[in-house]
Amino acid sequence: MSNDGPIQDIGEKHLVVPGTTFRKITEAVSRVTENPAPRGWWIMFLAAVSFTGVLGLAIGYLFFRGVGVWGNNSPVGWAWDITNFVWWVGIGHAGTLISAVLFLFRQKWRTSINRFAEAMTIFAVICALLFPGIHVGRVWHAYYMFPIPNSMSIWPNFKSPLLWDVFAVGTYFTVSTLFWFVGLIPDLATLRDRSVNSVRRMVYGFLSLGWRSSNRHWQNYERAYMILAALSTPLVLSVHSVVSFDFATSVEPGWHTTIFPPYFVAGAIFSGFAMVMTLMLVARVVFKMNDLVTMTHIELMNKIILATGTIVGYAYAMEFFIAWYSGNEYERYVFLNRAFGPYAWAYWTMISCNVISPQLYWFKRLRTNIPLSFVISIFVNIGMWFERFVIIVTSLHRDFIPSSWGYFHPTPTDIAIYMGSLGLFFTLFLLFIRWVPMIAMAELKSVLPEASAHHHAHEDHDHHHAQPAKAE
């Protein structure tokens, strides 16, 4: 991939520590999958697996007792289940954005973080898909959501946003998984060639699809990667737009607004980048990846968090303006009730986490402060969860008839399912960083000064010199 013109503005020397060689990259990334896991990994893994067990028990209890074990009540028919669904889909957004969009714009700094982000996307979407499946009440009829002609000849209702979600999120999951896997092939081949035991060699050999690093392999790989990147880019915009239609296509005051699609997309990128930051900073410390994930990466990600956080803040203000400008008293009431009603605590938590905390990133000293970046990334994810909660619950809990007003209280089952979904996400993510190269070695090498414009054919000979490739 030729890289001419002003694309190297960032200064590629800042993307890896000076003195990094092809071999050092291979060693640093491969050793994580080859050496025994550090104690920190085991502690986190056992905690995550325990929470996943809680998820299994909570869902079993839900199936046994029915949706009544949730806190949903008469006006608040949708609550934590849909909040969590939208939140998880949002977290899955940064992966495809970092990988596909930044790849198409030739942003070299994505190479150290794209693998994390793509894996995170896939696991977040798995957690998201859990919620529409379990919130339908009679779970054994969940196949109604899919466009399959079933035994009773009932076709799904194509006017239902729930079905649109199935199409949008399903497509997103499929394309993201393919994109992730295609990017992995050269790195899996490196692990295959470095393997010393036959089981590892067989598994990585099977997964690397006979990759031999020939010129023709690289040409096909780059073409496939480019096509998948081009397919993924419109998905970044479409998926969360469709998720926002769950609300925007209703006539409910507080939901029926045209700003939802772009506002949800900006919020999704915002929460996704924050989650990448949280995971990346922890892995960087635990696996000593400071040479490959440099301060430049952290600062550039913080700039994107600042930009998307400011867009989200603008959207909040615009919602209030439109509610006032519409002259619709119900719409006005919903927004005033959000800010000053019984759920004001949730609304102001959302504003302080999403709008105020990222504003610290206007200062370079704070953008490059690692503990602060970690704290703000967690704040942003808390704030984005509250945003979904505020949109859903405060719009519903006081409807047109004051006698039917209510207040939503989550039940232990609600909380257990949410915590369990976090456990599932971290279990999958920890298994990923243990067995799969968490940094794209082949792509990161292209950033080094030694890599010429047509580096790939030469690069990979060095790729393998840690241990000669074994004959089939």
The low-confidence residues of the chain, meaning pLDDT below 50, are 1-11, 453-472
Half-sphere exposure of 449 (CA within 13 A, CB side): 8
Question: What pLDDT is stored for residue 2 in this prediction?
Answer: 40
Q: Of the candidates 301, 314, 298, 299, which has an alpha carbon nearest to the alpha carbon of residue 355? A: 314
Tokens read off for 142: 């969940």
Residues listed for the chain = 472
Q: State how far the alpha carbon of 149 is from the alpha carbons of 34, 83, 133, in Å.
A: 48, 30, 19
Return the HEC string of 81-116: HHHHHHHHHHHCHHHHHHHHHHHHCCCHHHHHCHHH
Question: What pLDDT is stored for residue 467 in this prediction?
Answer: 43
Range list of β-strands (E), 237-371: none
Question: What pLDDT is stored for residue 10 in this prediction?
Answer: 46
Tokens read off for 251: 């006539």
Question: What pLDDT is stored for residue 71 in this prediction?
Answer: 79
**What count of other Cβ atoms lies within 10 Å of the Cβ of residue 229?**
20
Q: Do residues 330 and 400 lie in contact, with contact meaning Cβ atoms separated by under 8 Å? A: yes
Q: Of the candidates 131, 143, 144, which has an alpha carbon nearest to the alpha carbon of residue 67? A: 131
Please give the CATH topology (third level) of the domain spanning 17-463: Formate dehydrogenase/DMSO reductase fold (1.20.1630)
Residue type, 159: K
Q: Of the candidates 206, 203, 185, 225, which has an alpha carbon nearest to the alpha carbon of residue 437? A: 185
- Residues with Cβ within 8 Å of 243's Cβ and at least 6 positions away in sequence, in order, are 85, 86, 89, 165, 168, 169, 264
Q: How far apart are CA 136 and CA 146, in angstroms?
A: 13
Q: State how far the alpha carbon of 161 is from the alpha carbons of 24, 74, 458, in Å.
A: 49, 21, 50
What sign does the CA torsion over 239, 244, 246, 250 have? negative
Q: How far apart are CA 346 and CA 342, in angstroms?
A: 9
Instruction: Give the burial string for 364-391 (b: 16+ CB within 10 Å, else e).
Output: eeebebeebbbebbebbbbbbbbbbbbb
Question: What pLDDT is stored for residue 420 in this prediction?
Answer: 92
